[in-house]
Amino acid sequence: MVFTSTTQTLTWPGQKPSPEKVNYVAAQTSTYPTTLYVTGNTSANHQTYEFSSKDSMVLDTASLCHYQRQ
Protein backbone atom coordinates (compact mmCIF):
# COMPACT_ATOMS: atom_id res chain seq x y z
CA MET A 1 0.00 0.00 0.00
CA VAL A 2 1.20 3.47 -0.83
CA PHE A 3 -0.64 6.54 0.43
CA THR A 4 -0.33 10.14 -0.68
CA SER A 5 -2.48 13.07 0.40
CA THR A 6 -5.02 12.31 -2.35
CA THR A 7 -4.47 8.70 -3.49
CA GLN A 8 -3.94 5.17 -2.28
CA THR A 9 -2.26 2.55 -4.43
CA LEU A 10 -2.94 -1.09 -3.65
CA THR A 11 -0.79 -3.83 -5.13
CA TRP A 12 -2.11 -7.37 -5.44
CA PRO A 13 0.03 -10.40 -6.34
CA GLY A 14 0.15 -10.92 -10.10
CA GLN A 15 -1.60 -7.62 -10.90
CA LYS A 16 -0.53 -4.08 -11.73
CA PRO A 17 -0.73 -1.46 -8.98
CA SER A 18 -4.13 0.22 -8.94
CA PRO A 19 -4.07 3.85 -7.76
CA GLU A 20 -7.37 5.40 -6.70
CA LYS A 21 -8.23 8.95 -5.67
CA VAL A 22 -9.42 8.91 -2.07
CA ASN A 23 -10.54 10.98 0.88
CA TYR A 24 -9.26 10.36 4.39
CA VAL A 25 -11.57 10.61 7.41
CA ALA A 26 -9.74 10.37 10.71
CA ALA A 27 -11.60 9.73 13.95
CA GLN A 28 -8.77 11.44 15.85
CA THR A 29 -5.44 12.77 14.69
CA SER A 30 -3.35 13.08 17.83
CA THR A 31 -4.60 10.34 20.17
CA TYR A 32 -3.98 6.61 19.76
CA PRO A 33 -5.53 4.15 19.27
CA THR A 34 -7.57 5.74 16.48
CA THR A 35 -9.50 4.76 13.37
CA LEU A 36 -8.96 6.04 9.85
CA TYR A 37 -11.50 5.59 7.07
CA VAL A 38 -10.31 5.76 3.46
CA THR A 39 -13.19 6.40 1.06
CA GLY A 40 -12.87 6.14 -2.71
CA ASN A 41 -13.80 9.08 -4.92
CA THR A 42 -14.80 6.84 -7.84
CA SER A 43 -15.87 3.56 -6.23
CA ALA A 44 -18.52 2.67 -3.70
CA ASN A 45 -16.29 1.24 -1.01
CA HIS A 46 -14.08 2.15 1.88
CA GLN A 47 -11.31 0.65 3.96
CA THR A 48 -11.02 0.99 7.71
CA TYR A 49 -7.60 1.09 9.36
CA GLU A 50 -7.02 0.82 13.11
CA PHE A 51 -3.89 2.62 14.32
CA SER A 52 -2.51 1.55 17.69
CA SER A 53 0.30 4.12 17.29
CA LYS A 54 1.48 6.49 14.58
CA ASP A 55 3.67 3.68 13.20
CA SER A 56 1.43 0.63 13.65
CA MET A 57 -1.72 -0.10 11.65
CA VAL A 58 -4.11 -3.00 11.11
CA LEU A 59 -6.64 -3.24 8.27
CA ASP A 60 -10.08 -3.88 9.75
CA THR A 61 -11.37 -6.41 7.21
CA ALA A 62 -14.66 -6.90 9.04
CA SER A 63 -15.78 -3.37 8.20
CA LEU A 64 -15.28 -3.49 4.42
CA CYS A 65 -18.67 -2.54 3.11
CA HIS A 66 -20.26 -0.66 0.25
CA TYR A 67 -21.82 2.72 0.72
CA GLN A 68 -23.93 4.91 -1.50
CA ARG A 69 -22.68 8.43 -2.10
CA GLN A 70 -25.48 10.99 -1.55
End-to-end CA distance of the chain: 28
pLDDT mean over 56-70: 59
Supply the pTM of this predicted model: 0.59
Enumerate helices (H) and strands (E) in the chain, giving the number of each.
Answer: 0, 6
Neighbours of 5 (CB within 10 A): 6
Kindly list the domain boundaries of the chain, sorted by start residue.
25-53
| 2-57 pLDDT, tens digit each | 778 788 887 778 888 878 888 888 777 778 888 888 887 766 677 788 888 878 88
- Tell me how far apart the alpha carbons of residues 56 and 27 are, in angstroms, rounded to a whole number: 16
Which residue type occupies 43? Answer: S
pLDDT at 70: 44
Which residue from 46, 49, 5, 6 is spatially nearest to 28, judged by alpha carbons? 49
